[in-house]
Amino acid sequence: MLAVTNLLIVGLPRSGKTTLIKKILLVDSIGKKAMGFLTEEVREGGQRIGFHLITVPEGRIGLLSQKGLPSSHCVGRYGVDIDVLEEMGCQVILQAMDTENIILVDEIGKMELFSDKFRTALIDALNSPQKVLATIMERPNAFADGIKKRSDVRLLYLTREKFGDVFQEVLNWLDK
């Protein structure tokens, strides 16, 4: 039996996946050992207008998607900037594999899965001996569903009601 080196947080949009990851990063013993990226909503006038990609630990910010952004890759009204994902997100995942850090990927979702380079970097990270902490879409997707079925993956389902329990389970897994 393979050791579980990959922990994936599954949840619907707005279930708190990124909030959970941010809270985990505030734990000094973990935050100092994590390398990867977060995705965060961009809001204007109380409305979500896009998503930033933020590298960890550097804190570089790129505009991953935005309403009305001209792009051949769209999710709803959001145009996706694949170059931001590949030049920042994929780069930091690949760099993390050359360290002993926890590899952080927030999120494995429709926007990110447009990129073959991202898919390859993600599979390489999941195959590495390092721990990977990632968030992943709950809705059906052939590639994401394949990742969820891997024998070296543990899935934790996040809802707002289970936030505290899932947070503690992630901490326990990372401390092992």
Q: Over the stretch 68-80, which tens digit does the pLDDT of each residue have?
A: 999 999 999 999 9
Q: State the average pLDDT for the chain.
A: 95
Contact 32, 150 (CB under 8 A): no
* Token pair of 115 as six digits: 């990129």
Go through the domains of the chain in sequence order and give each one's CATH number. 6-175 (3.40.50.300)
Q: Over the stretch 122-157, which tens digit does the pLDDT of each residue have?
A: 999 999 999 999 999 999 999 999 999 999 999 999
Res 89: pLDDT: 97
Backbone angles phi, psi at 160, to 5 degrees: -60, -35
Average pLDDT over residues 106-120: 97
Contact 55, 144 (CB under 8 A): no
Among the residue ranges 1-5, 78-82, 138-142, 156-160, the one predicted with the least confidence is 1-5
Chain centroid, CA 30 distance in Å: 16
Chain centroid, CA 59 distance in Å: 15
Helix or strand (DSSP H, E) at 2? none
Res 1: pLDDT: 44
Res 2: pLDDT: 55
